[in-house]
Amino acid sequence: MKSALIGGIGNVLLGDDGVGPYVIRLLESRYTFGENVDIVDLGTPALDLTHQIAARYSLILLDSVASDDPPGTVVLYRRDDILCEAPAQRLDPHSPALSECLLTADMLGASPENVLLVGIVGESYEPGQQLSKAVAQSVEAAIDAVLQELGRLGFAFQKRPCPTEPGIWWESYPSADSSAILG
């Protein structure tokens, strides 16, 4: 049976870096997916991401990306786009290292046939901040990109008649410059 993984990458405590998990929570609250579709908050994976993606037919990831495009721009990257750059030097143990993981899965003969990274150009990565306005406004476009890809690949999903609570707990915390922290 063909399977798909929809994964959100990012640190929810670092502003726009948390957009991947944010979108994942919204997708889970608004839609149901076929049993062959897994939807996962991947956090800040390193090379262990290989174990999540190996032997999947399709991989759809959501993450904040750096780009010359304006903040909030949704940029779609296919497998070849991701692999056209040589793997970058890892700066910390939490770097997603997506190209390295894809190459490792290739060496194992278990790389996903279809890969899509839904990147959202970030603006602010300050600790304790919520999503920037530009990134928050792009969330619906990112959700649409995921659903279009699932439809293109023939995976089942259905809109919930009554969405559930998305459980985006980090958005309810006061921002770092809030007077609530200062008392």
Residue 83: CB partners within 8 Å, gap ≥ 6? 99, 102, 103
pLDDT score of 83: 82
How far is Cα 29 from Cα 138, in angstroms, rounded to an integer? 18
pLDDT of 174 > 80? The answer is no
Tokens of 2: 């063909």
Is the CATH number of domain 4-182 3.40.50.300?
no
The residue assigned the tokens 């889970």 is 28
pTM score over 0.85: yes
Q: Which two tokens stand for residue 180?
A: 């609530």
The structure tokens listed for 89 are: 């030097």
* SS3 annotation, the chain: CCCEEEEEECCCCCHHHHHHHHHHHHHHHHEEECCCEEEEEEECCCCCHHHHHCCCCEEEEEEEECCCCCCCCEEEEEHHHHHCCCCCCCCCCCCCCHHHHHHHHHHCCCCCCEEEEEEEECCCCCCCCCCCHHHHHHHHHHHHHHHHHHHHHCCCEEECCCCCCCCCHHHHCCCCCCHHHHC
In the chain, where are the structural domains located? 4-182
- Average pLDDT over the chain, rounded to whole? 85
- Compute the CA torsion angle 67, 107, 39, 175 (nearest 10 deg): -40
pLDDT digits (tens, 9 = 90+) for 29-85: 999 999 999 999 998 887 778 888 888 899 999 999 988 999 999 999 998 888 886
**Number of alpha carbons in the 13 Å side-chain half-sphere of residue 178:** 11
Q: What is the pLDDT of residues 91-123, one digit of tens each?
A: 444 455 788 888 888 888 888 989 999 999 999
